[in-house]
Every structure is written in structure tokens, then in C-alpha cells.
Amino acid sequence: MTAENGLINFLVVHPLLGIGMMLLVGYALARVVQLVGLPEITGFIVAGLIMGGGGLAIVGEHAAEDLAIITEIALGIIALTIGGELRVAKLRRIYQSVAWITFGQFALTFVLVAGALLLADLSLPFALLLGAIATSTSPAAVVAVVRSTRARGSFVDQLFGTVALGDAITIAVFGVVLAMVPAMVGGDTAVGALVFESFSDLSVSIVLGAFLGFLIYFTTRNEQNSGEVLILTLGFLFLSTAVAVAFGLSPLLMNMAAGAALVNFSAAGGRVMRALEPITPPVYALFFVIAGTKLNPAVLFAGEVMVFGALFIIGRWIGKYFGTFGGAVLAGSERPVRNWLGMGLFAQAGVALGLVLLLEASAELGASAALPPDMIRTAINVVLMAVFVNEISGPPIAKYAIKRALKLEEK
């Protein structure tokens, strides 16, 4: 190997070089897109798209794999942040609205996407699995857009509540549908046992998360130094995420439950959230750039994937918006929530990708071994296409919706 080739290989695979370039290119493009009124998250995603395999392939496949831990760290922080918004005192005022909205947007999105895919001649198991995945919303995108707009108030509280509750239901329903797949394809697997196991895993995730929140509160309650609070919080957060991954639990639900428990044990729980704020900008930036490296525009033109993907995307948009609108009407929610909250739910990334990768892994583990491998690949590409479209278009739409809603709240 020549010295020149060795240098090129180093530049392609070394994770530190990838991290540095992701931060710098992401920052530059974030500034560019902000000049035209788009949220900085769009610039990060575009940076990843350019640097990944679907673009210039500056970030190699091995480097992307090495950086997967950053995605897990970011999702842990994001989930803890979302959970931290679920204060009981706050939820008492909006729980009815959040419950109706979550049910409305979940049910309509699931029915429209699954129904449209069935009519397009996709098999029942895949239609139901993709219908469940379609109901997810990207908590990372929602948090990033809200922080960039510095929005506060009832609208934001209900948006966060809907995202948290909606994604929890998505994970539960996907697990149930996946457990039922063997029965739908004529297998002999005990479906009841698999469904029970799925709900058990979710329940354990929530219980362990609540315990984690108590541990963070207990160990940080007398600490005055924000740096020490940050060390303790990250230590517990990393441990909980690793435990969840190792035992097949849900890191998202576990850390959401931890955040909710933390801020409800004591009013001082907000101190932990503030301690996390200094490290979140670079972590969030890397998270979205890495997400962008996984997007490939070529997927958009892959035969039947284009048809199924278009039905998935359009059905999801209609379900999210009109399901939210209907739920808000039934709950008697104020006009900003009725008109604009649904558009804040269009972004889709981490949860959807996690679920479709779980589908891929389940085939190897035997849970869905009866499913045709080529259809599993088609389902994965449909979700990748939807994530590509929704993660590019979702944040700007969410930013616009939040600004319009806040203007209505001010009147």
C-alpha cells in the first residue's frame, strides 16, 4: 500500500476526522439554510446527505458504524429532555387534549397508511408493520425546532406530550404486530406469549426508567456544582441506554420515563436539564448529520418502493394532520392546537429507523422468519424513502407551524 493510499484510507475511515468534518460542514450549511428561513437542523441533514454514501462518500461506511454510539447518546439525551417536559402539574391542564390528539393522529395515520398499502397489493403483515411505523414522530427534530424558535407555552407543552405519548404507543403497537406476524403467515408460534413478552419489555423499560430518574434525583439533589450534576446524569444515562440495548428493552421509553420521574420527584429536577444544555448543541448537530449520511436519494426511484413510499408519505401526512385536528376538536382544544399541531408531527427519523431495523433483525432471530427477505428489504427501503422526505421537509414545516401557532396564542 502506498503512503498516498494509506492517507486516503485514514481520511475515509478515521472517526475523529468524520466527527470534525461533520461538525464544520454541518455548521456551515446550518448557517446557509438559516439565511433563507429554514431551521438549522435542515442544514445538518443536508450536510450528512452530501458527506454520506448517497453523496460524496466522504464519511465511509466503517466511520459511520463507529459513530453509531453518538446516535445512541443523542437519543438518550433527547428522550430524557422530552420526559422532562412531562410534569404532572402541567399535564393536569392538558392531559385530555393530549390524549385525544394522540389517539386521533395515531389511529387515522395507522388506518390510512396500512389501508393504502393493502389496496396497493402489499401483504397484510407488511401493511400493518409499515402502518405502525408510520405513526412515529421524530422527537429529536421536534426538540431541535422548538429550541431553535425558543417557543414556550401551551402549544409546545401539548406538542411534546403528543410526541412522547404517541411514540410510546407506536413502539407498543409495533411490538404487538410483529409478535402476530407468525400467525398471519401461518406459523405455529404462540402469539399470546409473544404479545405478553412485548408488553412486559415495555413495562420493564418504564419501571426501570422511573427508578433511574429517582437515582439521578437522589445523587444530584445536594450537588451545587453543575459540572458534577452533568457527570452524574450522563453516567446514569449511558448506563441505562446500554442496559436497555443489551436486554432488548426500549432506550427511548426508559429515558423518557427517567426524565418524567426526575422532574416530578422535585422542582429541582429542572436543574439537571439545565446542566445538559451546554453539551447538547454539538451532540444534536452530530446526530442529524449522521442521520443524513444514512439517506440515499437513489431509494426514491427504486420501482415499487416509489409507489409504496408515496402512499406511506401521503397517508401519513393526511393522518397526522387530520387526526390531530379531529382529536383537538373532540377535546375542545384551542384554535392554535387544532390548526397547527398536526404539522409539527411530520418529521420522522430515529424511532422509525429503529423499528425497521428491529424488523430486519427479527428475521434473523426467527420472529419473522416466514416473511420473504425481498419484502423485508422493500419495507426497509420504503421507510428510508419516507425518512428522507419527512426529515428534510418536516423540520421547516414544524418551524412554520410553531410560529403560526404562537402568533395565534398571542392574540
Q: What percent of the chain has pLDDT over 70?
A: 79
Residues 241 and 127 both lie in one domain: yes
CA–CA separation, 335 and 314 (whole Å): 24
CA–CA separation, 223 and 149 (whole Å): 31
Q: What is the CATH number of the domain that holds 186?
A: 1.20.1530.20
Per the model's pLDDT, the better-predicted residue between 215 and 351 turns out to be 215
Residues 269 and 344 both lie in one domain: yes
CA–CA separation, 405 and 399 (whole Å): 10
Sequence-distant (≥ 6) Cβ neighbours of residue 247 within 8 angstroms: none
Q: Tell me the per-residue pLDDT of 71-80, one tens digit each, with 9 for 90 and over.
A: 778 878 878 8
291 located within any domain: no
Residues 144 and 164 both lie in one domain: yes
Domain count, the chain: 2
- pLDDT for position 99: 86
Please tell me the least confidently modeled range out of 68-77, 272-281, 324-333, 364-373: 364-373
- The top-scoring range by mean pLDDT among 151-155, 276-280, 301-305, 335-339 is 335-339
Residues 176 and 208 both lie in one domain: yes
Q: How many CB atoms lie within 10 A of CB 361?
A: 12
Q: What is the dihedral of CA 318, 321, 324, 325, to 10 degrees?
A: -100
292 located within any domain: no
Residues 14 and 147 both lie in one domain: no
Residues 222 and 121 both lie in one domain: yes
DSSP state of 351: H
CA neighbor of 113 nearest in space, from 338, 371, 340, 390:
390
Residues 52 and 183 both lie in one domain: no
389 located within any domain: yes
259 located within any domain: yes
265 located within any domain: yes
Question: What's the mean pLDDT in 347-374?
Answer: 64
Residues 97 and 40 both lie in one domain: no
- pLDDT for position 8: 45
CA–CA separation, 176 and 109 (whole Å): 17
Q: Tell me the per-residue pLDDT of 135-185, one tens digit each, with 9 for 90 and over.
A: 988 777 787 788 777 777 788 888 888 887 888 788 778 877 777 776 666
289 located within any domain: no
Residue-range definition of the domain harbouring residue 224: 69-284+298-410
219 located within any domain: yes
pLDDT band at 258 (very low <50, low <70, confident <90, very high): confident
Residues 38 and 75 both lie in one domain: no
Stated pTM of the model: 0.74
